[in-house]
Amino acid sequence: MSAQPADEGFGQGGPAGSRSLLALAGRRFLRNGLGMTGAVIVLILILLAVLGPSLAPYNPLTQNYHLITKPPMPGHPLGTDDLGRDELSRMLYGARLSFGVSVLSVGLAAIVGMPIGMLSGYYRGWVDDIFVMRITDALLAFPGLILALAIAAFLGASFTHETIAIGIGFVPGFIRLARGQVLSEREREYVASAQSVGSGTRRILLRHILPNTMTPMLIQATLAMSGALLADAGLSYLGLGVPPPTPSWGTMINTGMGYLMQAPWLVYWPGLAITVAVLGWNLLGDGIRDALDVRLRQ
Amino acid sequence: MGDGVIGRYLVRRILLMVPVVFLVTVMVFLMLHLIPGDPARVALGEEATPQAVAALRAQMGLNLPLPAQYLHWVGQVLQGNFGRSLLDGTSVLKDLLQALPVTFELTVLALLTALLLGVPVGIIAARLRGTLADWVATTLALIALSIPAFWLGILFILYFAVRLHLFPSEGYAPITKGLGANLDLMILPAVSLGLRSAAVIARMLRGSLLEVLGADFVRTARAKGVSERRALWRHALRNALLPVVTVGALEFAGLLGGVVITEEIFGIPGMGQLLVNAIFQRDFPTVQGEVLFIALIVLIVNLLTDLSYSLLDPRIQVAGD
């Protein structure tokens, strides 16, 4: 990488500074092959989640008893499952479900975690110390999947419950990140100058500090997406996700386990789809982080 | 660093854990009340007689006001009584302690896999930065990071057990039946579970090595004529391995989560299988007891990690932060 002036891209939080930083990061991202691959995979995932059901050649629930566990063949390019349902159509519907659960759970975690973290970091004091930090410590004591399993188990299996169960595990991450960002941002000069011209707390947090903390949040959210996809796969494999017959990639693997010898493709396709989807979000997250990471330019 | 400092740190660190443990118990306690409707009714099913439901409500202490319920429950837990299984009345703690060694072995083997693969790969990638070997290692790590561990386990069964007949496909043999028989059944689950952590460790180590190799003290060592190999092994690695301790501990918590599905796939009678069975049989005291138990294990591991970290790195001020 060519040598660049050390202070390039370091905006002081002002509009001009952040715009040039973003432009620089954007250019760097476009040159990053792995990051771009991730972006393309994620774009395809979004398209499949939106268009998947209209692309599906069959109704994913229609059973065909003449075509039970058939290998890939013309008309059914991914084969058929134990009830003669078209695997490709089920995969396409499953894409919408997995995408929906992961986006909504990460979104939920961000919407709950960010304001708590920001307020806690801004005001500090005993509420921050005792409530927010200890509660996040306590939440972090539960391995993510265990927490999601337990919550889904007690609430009962459904789309909403699964989304909540997965989302809660990501809340402490967002709280901590937002809090840490605000703790460092609030000491900076632009906050002092906003305070000196009489800006209220809400304005300072929303108009000044929030835009400056969005980048780490974006990276966090991207990487959380891959975690959410994996959690969704695990929960629905165990039968704690969206109940059948709704096609979900994890549930499809579970079905395939019963036909491992006769029809291994029932396990291959959905697992491959999960892997590629998770890989896409990981690559995208890495790419964004690398594009914005100042240290890497040295 | 004197013993007194470490002692004070230990006390402070343990005192800080008290509110966290309290909150963990509150959370686990409240989980039962996430159940839509009456937990006793849900546990027994729709067919249960009102008498049976009332009896179970009394047994679970559900007739008390919420704070009294909590105090009753936590009081029992403090005495080592994690409740009784709704299925057969056995002590939840006894079931947990029976399953613990199995899960512990699987987790340790997975962590071992992670270290044995992750550390060398991380070192090689950093040493050969920018070469094809680095690219291959980085790409493989990314893929390992993205494969669901349980799906990898299924692929392992299909390939190594069904096709190559190298290992049995599922089951469990306690170590008392011989280490060979035990490991035969543990290798596939442990490797499939640990591969993701190996990727995390390799990526972390590569990053921190590259950072340390660029640091002033390594540059000074090089300038004094230290060979590149010695700079890596003697100077850089010692410092770069420190974060691996933290990551290893974090991964341990993650493995305790992943172990649930892996045990299910390979038919291993550990804590994961216990939890999944309890969930599907609506054995709520067992679910609660196990979730609490796991959270406490994670807290203890975190405590030990923090302590070892402060012992390993004298730069870390233990007396106050």
Can you give the pLDDT at residue A80?
78
| Integer angstrom CA distances of residue A11 from A7, A20, A193, B305 | 9, 8, 16, 38
Residue A160's CB: how many other CB atoms inside 10 A?
12
Which residue in B177, B201, B320 sits closest to B255, CA to CA? B201
CB distance B294–A234 less than 8 Å?
Answer: no
Which of the 8 DSSP states describes residue B91?
B
Which residue in B48, B26, B27 sits closest to B37, CA to CA? B48
Can you give the pLDDT at residue A33?
81
The answer to whether residue B304 neighbours chain A at the CB level (below 8 Å) is: no
Which residue in B93, B61, B83, B98 sits closest to B285, CA to CA? B83
The answer to whether residue B136 neighbours chain A at the CB level (below 8 Å) is: no
pTM summary value: 0.88
The torsion angles phi and psi of B45, rounded to 5 degrees, stand at 95, 170
Q: What is the DSSP string of B168-201?
A: -SS----GGG-HHHHHHHHHHHHHHHHHHHHHHH
CA A296 to CA A32: how far, in whole Å? 13
Of the pLDDT bands very low, low, confident and very high (cuts 50, 70, 90), residue B3 is low
Residue B57: what residue type? R
CA B271 to CA A55: how far, in whole Å? 42
| Integer angstrom CA distances of residue B255 from A188, B24, B267 | 40, 20, 17
**B281 contacts in A (CB within 8 Å)?**
none
Per-residue HEC secondary structure of chain A comes to CCCCCCCCCCCCCCHHHHHHHHHHHHHHHHCCHHHHHHHHHHHHHHHHHHHHHHHCCCCCCCCCCCCCCCCCECCECCCECCCCCEHHHHHHHHHHHHHHHHHHHHHHHHHHHHHHHHHHHHHCHHHHHHHHHHHHHHHHCCCHHHHHHHHHHHHCCCHHHHHHHHHHHHHHHHHHHHHHHHHHHCCCHHHHHHHHCCCCHHHHHHHHHHHHHHHHHHHHHHHHHHHHHHHHHHHHHHCCCCCCCCCCHHHHHHHHHCCCCCCCHHHHHHHHHHHHHHHHHHHHHHHHHHHHCCHHHC
Per-residue pLDDT reduced to its tens digit, B246-273: 888 888 888 988 899 999 999 999 999 9
Residue B90: what residue type? T
How close B12 comes to chain A (CA, Å)?
15
Of the pLDDT bands very low, low, confident and very high (cuts 50, 70, 90), residue B316 is low
Which residue in B220, B262, B261, B215 sits closest to B237, CA to CA? B215
CB distance A137–B20 less than 8 Å?
Answer: yes
Collapse the DSSP code of B251 into the 3-class scheme (helix H, G, I; strand E, B; otherwise coil) and give the result: helix
Can you give the pLDDT at residue A185?
82
Helices (H) and strands (E) in chain A, counts: 12, 0
Which residue in A234, A181, A229, A177 sits closest to A208, CA to CA? A181
Angle between helix B92-127 and helix B242-266 axes, rounded to 10 deg: 130
CA A71 to CA A79: how far, in whole Å? 4
Of the pLDDT bands very low, low, confident and very high (cuts 50, 70, 90), residue B314 is low
Which of the 8 DSSP states describes residue A13?
S
The answer to whether residue B73 neighbours chain A at the CB level (below 8 Å) is: no
Residues in chain A: 298
Residue A139's CB: how many other CB atoms inside 10 A?
22
Can you give the pLDDT at residue B132?
92
What ipTM score was computed for the predicted complex, to two decimals?
A: 0.88
CB pairs under 8 A between A and B: 134
Nearest CA in chain B to A238: B261
Mutate to test the interface with B, among A154, A158, A283, A298 (most CBs of B within 10 A): A154
Among the partner residues A144, A151, A274, nearest to B34 by beta-carbon distance: A151
Collapse the DSSP code of B48 into the 3-class scheme (helix H, G, I; strand E, B; otherwise coil) and give the result: coil
Nearest CA in chain B to A133: B20
Domains and CATH numbers, chain A: 21-296 (1.10.3720.10)
**Could you tell me which residues come within 8 angstroms of residue B190 by beta carbon, excluding any fewer than 6 positions away?**
B106, B109, B110, B112, B113
pLDDT tens track, chain A, 298 positions: 344 444 433 444 444 455 677 777 788 888 888 888 999 999 999 999 888 788 878 778 777 777 777 788 787 777 777 777 888 888 888 899 999 999 999 999 999 999 999 888 888 877 777 778 888 999 999 998 999 999 988 888 889 999 999 999 999 999 999 988 888 887 788 888 888 887 777 888 887 788 878 888 888 899 899 999 999 999 999 988 888 888 889 999 998 888 888 888 889 999 999 999 999 999 999 888 888 765 444 3
The torsion angles phi and psi of B224, rounded to 5 degrees, stand at -80, 5
Nearest CA in chain B to A134: B20
CB B103 within 8 A of CB B263: yes
Q: Is the omega angle on the peptide bond into residue A53 within 30 degrees of 0, that is, cis?
A: no
